[in-house]
Amino acid sequence: MQTATPDRTQCDRARLARDARFDGLFFTAVRSTGIYCRPVCPAPPPKPANVSDYPTAAAASAAGYRPCLGCRPELSPQAQQHLGEESVQRALRMIADGALQEQPVQTLSDAVGLSARQLQRQCVQQLGATPIQVHGTHRLLLAKQLLTETALPVTEVALAAGFNSLRRFNAAFLQGCGMPPSALRKQRAEVPGGELTLRLGYRPALDLPAMLAFLQRRAIPGIEQVDASGDRRVIDLQGKASVIDVSAAPQRAELLLRIGATDPRQIPQIVRRVRRLFDLDADLQAVHATLAPDPLLAEAIARRPGLRVPGGWDGFEVAVRAVLGQQISVAGAATLAARLVDRHGGHHADMPPGLDRSFPTPDQLADAPLEQLGLPRARAATLRALASACAQGQLHSGAGQRLPNFIAACTALPGIGPWTAHYVAMRALSHPDAFPAGDLILQQVLGAPERLSARHRCACAGVATVARLCRAAPVASGQRLQGHPRMSTLHYDTFPSPIGALSVAADDTGVHHILFAQNRYDAIGRARWLHDPDAPLVRAAREQLLDYLHGGRGSFDLPLAPIGTPFQLSVWRTLAQIPFGQTWSYAQLAQAVGKPAASRAVGAANGRNPLPIVLPCHRVIGANGALTGFGGGLPTKQALLQLEGWSPRGGARADDLFAPASALRTG
């Protein structure tokens, strides 16, 4: 395989146009000057005969070129997702995460499933540099940025760049940049001491208001302060708390990262985490080219071209908050997260008010009485199992993991299914192929589960951006989601349960139907279903339903694929927000859907719910406490509510409990 150098004609056009969309995707070396530049370099274009293009800064450095002092290659976003084969991409992510700082290449090669010689050969072929050269270039460029943008002493710059010896740092910098560190420091403009401010580049566009709005809705008091101007949060690395502040850089495709007092050796990790949090290394040009053939997605891209996938500061925090948010609203999940931090998080008396807390560690939650937060027993047990697995190293968010391995480790824990596992991989690992295909919002927008399946199978980098892209794209008025051609046959199983026989039908996109022994509305096409009790999603749904009915869980984690109109899907999605053990009236449901004057229409959509129990339409009752109706019969509805601790407060007549399903109106 040849080195992944971009097409020469395309590189020439991008360089002459100073096209920021190609920033970091290649570097131009100029033989007459001995330097290498970004495509956006403001210097006059060199003669074509003097130009060579390289896929990475490390390749240009390995060829003997120095980084430009004008365009500053250290500010370029990374392009790891599009360089080389999977093993090389994983190695790149691990190197960027510091894998070679203290470990030999052999350990890295073992982690990606290659011998050290194979990894070295593939890196040279595909990146133009060895793993050690890639690591060395990372360190050199970070040091160059710190020398240029901060007042850190040279000794602390050396520590931040991973050098324990000032002599070795000086020698490496002289070799890579053609001057000693002190000479570069003399050339830069004066910068204030104290708080560090670093520039973080990205390829346009970035919809920062949308990103900040997403983070603001989920901000935890005491840890985060997010508004339209930026994101401020407490960070706690190795027991030392500090505050970071991220905001937009005026008139530049950059963010400004301000770091409070911290150990200089933590700076590389802070920079990596902030870049992941804001998805700064995404190549939206490649993502859009992959998604644009789909008309719905093309329209969404045109409307919001800068949408990116929000990451997370800490993998454990993302996982805990994903579990807290199972089947409740964003606001409800944020409330639970605030309680969790208040009772179990760290407190830092020396920090400013309002930014003086830190998220609990796995050790702090492994044996914590989380039921006191108002969580169902099953969900509290899930969080403790998650914390124990992270504390023992069985589950982690380190770079370079294979997605199937991470998903398997997550779903081995009780109460965590494929949706949660893929959501965590998408936000905590920034894994390009992680995709929560069972998300109801995605199904509402894309219009057919087959589209989700196709996108999930698509091996393009950045495909997870669809998730956030679609969340912001409204559905066209009147678009209906039923009646599309089925791409796969539904598999089903019928099994006994404490409330009578239940049937579950699913395909590879998600669970489509849950049926009682008697139903007001039967499923269309049921006669063509194939009985297959061992189909993965059929088995998972059966196990989770029985676990719930025997008191073992209060929520579900299944990919769902109901078919309905946009209005019906919005009602069904809202049903998932009703907490375990609580009930809403039809008026409350209509209010939550955003249609307060449409209680009757909301009730009709509630009655058409194809996934009862999982989407808990049984928790919707009359305003006077009456059970009203239910597609599986009122005795079933009463049994489900009593299982969750509900007791009648009047209005339900004994004879109503045994009304036939055909006589029921709603529910």
Q: Which residues are catalytic?
A: 617
Name the one residue in this structure whose structure tokens are 């008026």.
587
Report how far apart the first and last C-alpha atoms of the chain are (Å, whole number).
Answer: 61
H, E, C per residue of 628-661: CCCCCCHHHHHHHHHHCCCCCCCCCCCHHHHCCH
Q: How far is CA 613 from CA 259, 381, 662, in A?
A: 47, 21, 19
Whether the CB-CB separation of 611 and 562 falls below 8 Å is answered with yes
H, E, C per residue of 18-84: CCHHHECCEEEEECCCCEEECCCCCCCCCCHHHEEEECCHHHHHHCCCEECCCCCHHHCCCCHHHCC
CA quadruple 417, 419, 420, 423: dihedral sign? positive
SS3 428: helix
Angle of helix 295-303 relative to helix 284-291, nearest 10 degrees? 150
H/E segment holding residue 245: strand 240-248
Cβ neighbours of residue 508 closer than 8 Å, sequence gap 6 or more: 453, 488, 537
Name which of 389, 399, 386, 271 is nearest 326 in CA terms.
386
Q: How far apart are CA 553 and CA 381, in angstroms?
A: 9
Q: How far apart are CA 581 and CA 384, in angstroms?
A: 21
SS3 325: coil
Cβ neighbours of residue 562 closer than 8 Å, sequence gap 6 or more: 440, 443, 512, 569, 572, 609, 610, 611, 615
The amino acid that residue 617 corresponds to is C
SS3 504: strand
CA quadruple 422, 245, 38, 66: dihedral sign? negative
What is the DSSP-derived secondary structure letter of residue 560?
A: B
Sheet strand arrangement including 224-227: 196-201, 254-259, 240-248, 230-237, 224-227
User: Is it true that the peptide bond before 205 is cis, omega within 30 degrees of 0?
Assistant: yes
Q: How far is CA 392 from CA 88, 384, 386, 406, 420, in A?
A: 28, 12, 10, 15, 21
